[in-house]
Structure 1
Amino acid sequence: MNTTQQILNTAVVGCGAISDIYLENMIHHFDNLNVTACCANHLEHAKTKADAYGIKGCTYEEILKDPSIDMVVILTPAPTHEILIRQALEAGKHVYTEKTMTLSAQSAMNLQCLAKSKGLYLGSAPDTFLGAALQTARKAIDDGLIGEVTSFDICANRDLDYLSGVSPFLCMPGGGICYDYSVYHLTALVSLLGPVESVSALVRNLAPQRTNTFPDSPTFGQKISYPNESQVFSILKMEHEITGTLSINGDSVIHDLAHFMIYGKKGILKLTDPNAFGGNVIFLPAQKNFEDHPAPEILNYGFSYEENSRGLGPSEMADAIFTKRESRTNASLAIHVLDVIDHMVQSSEKGAFVQIPTTCRRPEPLVRRNLF
């Protein structure tokens, strides 16, 4: 590890579509990362990707054996995460992985124990809560702009018939509407209001057999098997007594449409899609009477990362390693969010509220224009 210049030598594992934005940002926009290599299932694919970014294409075994590589960033489908993370930790590498960390909170906790035993950092996406929009919302809440928070309401829609054709990994374990998508909303929620205490949910799959409606797919128009959950309707009680709802419908006709409101005694915050880093955060002041119609205000506190900043999570974790502090995208946060999702499914099976056994600290807010 280059501690003199505060640069972490990094390798990327997985060269799919999401890897381009990670590589672009980590190579060109985050100076504390030095991306040296990438790997993929097929070596030729890795070498093609590597040539495009001026790095080395190699095997995962070569990455694990390379003592100059300090951290791996895993961008493979969720079912592969557990074994890849374990191998990297056992090889002495820090690890940042795409969401979710693993397929269950228990397996993620096992990896966290391994990381701690070796003095290594383990973190997980999503890192969108570090973006300008959600950091703006965090400051507004912490500054008391909307007063005491009383509730929240999150509602989102997706078209899984189309998206399953775009991204076949959605049909794999961990690709359902809860594990692959609500993880954004739940991570944003915990970053704003703290951990979840209990949950009640209805989780179901409306169509185990779907028709692929993505025109550019080789299986366009054909039936595809979708064994994962496509809908979740839930009530969440936070540890600080705030209660709200999270509802996601993957059987809609809109590809991505999100509604995210946080209600307070002095006003309301209207947030953007937590799958994005930027977007307008709107403050709706409280009405004094029926005739009072205060104008909505778009909040701007000068935070960075309005654009697609994937790679911010690894960069923030590198900064945490150098400054010997807890990373904001730490394993405890990822495990708690994964545990909430696990218990949404359990609640649906039991038909009752269930307690969430894990907890975490609310991540520290970012300093405005703090570029890693």
Structure 2
Amino acid sequence: MISDAYLQTMTQKFNILDVVGCCDRNPEKAQAAAQKYGIKALTIEEILADETIEIVVNLTTPASHYPVIKQLLEAGKHVYTEKVLSVRLDHAAELVKIADNKNLYLGAAPDTFLGSAIQTARYVVDSGLIGEVTSCYCALTRDGEILNRAFPFTAKEGGGFGFDVGIYYITALLSILGPVKEVSGVVQTRKPERPYYSLEKFGETFPVECENFMSGILLFERGTVGNVLFDANSIFILPEKPSLVLFGTMGILYMADPNQFGGDVRVILKGNNEPVTMQQSHAFHDECRGLGVAEMAWAMRMGRKNRANKELAYHALEVLHGIVKSSETKSNQMLESTFEPISPLPRGYTGQGFFGFIEETGIAL
């Protein structure tokens, strides 16, 4: 469960965080999690009334994000939410406005771009090693029926393959290449009626109410052109073998799975034919869901903007909605939003080496 991934990280890894409680619509689930992690099981009313609780982490399904986040912001809480910021773009814009008006932090996953792999890739690009990035490409395939049956929200609005998984790739590209100004694409829902295979429901079907195929072209403000492909009508292999590649005038950069924090970053420089694996220049290689929460907490204490911020999350959501609208209208879509360049994490805070700096220091700066 995603809550276990967050709670393990937040209760054990970061000094800046003091996790005091959890809440669930099912009180028994909340009590079980509270007992497991040594925290309290709270009601939403108790959370809203407790002035010592500064940040609330929202891990509800996408359809619940808007009402839950709005309630928390209006109560004066800083919020970090699982992706996406909201299913509807206008609802996301409203949440951003509320946070701005109340001077509150609003952060959102994915936070995997803060991990060692994407930060190392960012360093390679920023250093000019592969020259000017002229184009980029990413692709991932899965068997959506498996996910739809295991996680029913992935068959509902906001849980489609592009919005639920593609956003990891979009966010990774945005964190390195900056804002997108124009998109086009094709979006489909193939086989909108899918069969159950369990004995209990064998012969019955369930509806797929969201996209399970998305292909898009992105034109970044810096001039880079990107191609994205997310197809949930193929096969599911483990470990997954997605593609995320940046093509530059002086080399090619092969990135790791952006759904993970670590992984190999490989480069082929001009004049060579074989890739070289780059040394990891940054921390957080292992599973670290909740890293964005800790980084936001440090941003609050240090008086700066958090990296997995609401503007980045909104822009990523607008990219996805733009691809959908382009498919519907058969026309390119100009994006209205933008965001400030995301500051890279400082290099060297890996916790390794004889005098290795601790990892958490890297997100405090």
* Fold match by TM threshold 0.5: yes
1:112 paired to 2:91: no
Q: For residue 74 of structure 1, what is the aligned residue in structure 2?
A: 58
Structure 1, 33-42 or 113-122: larger mean CA deviation = 113-122
Structure 1, 345-354 or 104-113: larger mean CA deviation = 104-113
Say which SS state the counterpart of residue 206 (structure 2) adopts: strand
2:141 aligned residue (157, 162, 167): 157
Kindly provide the CA deviation profile for residues 225-263 of structure 1, in whole angstroms up to 9, marking residues without a partner as x: 111101011111001111120011110112544101100
In the TM superposition, 1:10-89 aligns within 5 A as 17-89=1-73
Say which SS state the counterpart of residue 5 (structure 2) adopts: helix
Alpha-carbon distance, 1:136 to partner: 0.5
1:239 paired to 2:218: no
Say which SS state the counterpart of residue 337 (structure 2) adopts: coil
Say which SS state the counterpart of residue 179 (structure 1) adopts: helix
Any conservation in 2 of the 1:133–1:306 contact (CA below 8 Å)?
Answer: yes
Any conservation in 2 of the 1:234–1:246 contact (CA below 8 Å)?
Answer: yes
Say which SS state the counterpart of residue 93 (structure 2) adopts: helix
1:170 paired to 2:149: no
From the superposition, tell whether residues 180 and 119 of structure 1 become closer, same or farther in structure 2 (CA, over 3 Å).
Answer: same
Distance 2:196 2:167 in 1: 24
Say which SS state the counterpart of residue 236 (structure 1) adopts: strand
Any conservation in 2 of the 1:156–1:259 contact (CA below 8 Å)?
Answer: yes
In the TM superposition, 1:275-314 aligns within 5 A as 275-287=259-271, 293-314=272-293
Say which SS state the counterpart of residue 277 (structure 1) adopts: coil
> What percentage of aligned pairs have identical amino acids?
40
In the TM superposition, 1:333-348 aligns within 5 A as 333-348=312-327
Alpha-carbon distance, 1:65 to partner: 1.0
1:139 paired to 2:123: yes
Amino acid at match of 1:181: V
Structure 2 regions of 5+ residues with no counterpart? 350-358
Q: For residue 6 of structure 1, what is the aligned residue in structure 2?
A: none
1:267 paired to 2:251: yes
Alpha-carbon distance, 1:95 to partner: 0.2
Any conservation in 2 of the 1:81–1:101 contact (CA below 8 Å)?
Answer: yes
Alpha-carbon distance, 1:221 to partner: 7.2
- The answer to which structure has the higher strand fraction is 1
Structure 1 regions of 5+ residues with no counterpart? 1-16, 288-292
Distance 1:32 1:222 in 2: 49
1:129 paired to 2:129: no
Distance 1:184 1:218 in 2: 34
Distance 2:339 2:51 in 1: 32
Any conservation in 2 of the 1:237–1:243 contact (CA below 8 Å)?
Answer: yes
Any conservation in 1 of the 2:117–2:280 contact (CA below 8 Å)?
Answer: no
Q: For residue 325 of structure 1, what is the aligned residue in structure 2?
A: 304
Distance 1:104 1:334 in 2: 13
Distance 1:211 1:253 in 2: 16
Alpha-carbon distance, 1:352 to partner: 1.5
1:148 paired to 2:132: yes
Distance 2:236 2:28 in 1: 36
Say which SS state the counterpart of residue 148 (structure 2) adopts: helix
Kindly provide the CA deviation profile for residues 183-218 of structure 1, in whole angstroms up to 9, marking residues without a partner as x: 1111001001011110110000111111346x7x96
Structure 1, 353-362 or 248-257: larger mean CA deviation = 248-257
Kindly provide the CA deviation profile for residues 322-366 of structure 1, in whole angstroms up to 9, marking residues without a partner as x: 011111011000000101111111000111111011111221101
Alignment size in residue pairs: 349
Alpha-carbon distance, 1:219 to partner: 5.0
2:295 aligned residue (292, 307, 316): 316
1:193 aligned residue (160, 170, 177): 177
From the superposition, tell whether residues 197 and 92 of structure 1 become closer, same or farther in structure 2 (CA, over 3 Å).
Answer: same
Any conservation in 2 of the 1:162–1:212 contact (CA below 8 Å)?
Answer: no
Distance 1:276 1:352 in 2: 34
Q: For residue 163 of structure 2, what is the aligned residue in structure 1?
A: 179
Distance 1:209 1:345 in 2: 20
TM-score, with length taken from structure 1: 0.91
Amino acid at match of 1:178: G
Q: For residue 205 of structure 1, what is the aligned residue in structure 2?
A: 189
Alpha-carbon distance, 1:163 to partner: 1.0
From the superposition, tell whether residues 218 and 275 of structure 1 become closer, same or farther in structure 2 (CA, over 3 Å).
Answer: farther
Amino acid at match of 1:134: I
Any conservation in 2 of the 1:158–1:250 contact (CA below 8 Å)?
Answer: yes
Amino acid at match of 1:72: V
From the superposition, tell whether residues 36 and 161 of structure 1 become closer, same or farther in structure 2 (CA, over 3 Å).
Answer: same
Any conservation in 2 of the 1:146–1:264 contact (CA below 8 Å)?
Answer: yes
Distance 1:185 1:218 in 2: 36
Any conservation in 1 of the 2:268–2:274 contact (CA below 8 Å)?
Answer: yes
Amino acid at match of 1:228: C
Any conservation in 2 of the 1:164–1:212 contact (CA below 8 Å)?
Answer: no
Amino acid at match of 1:128: T
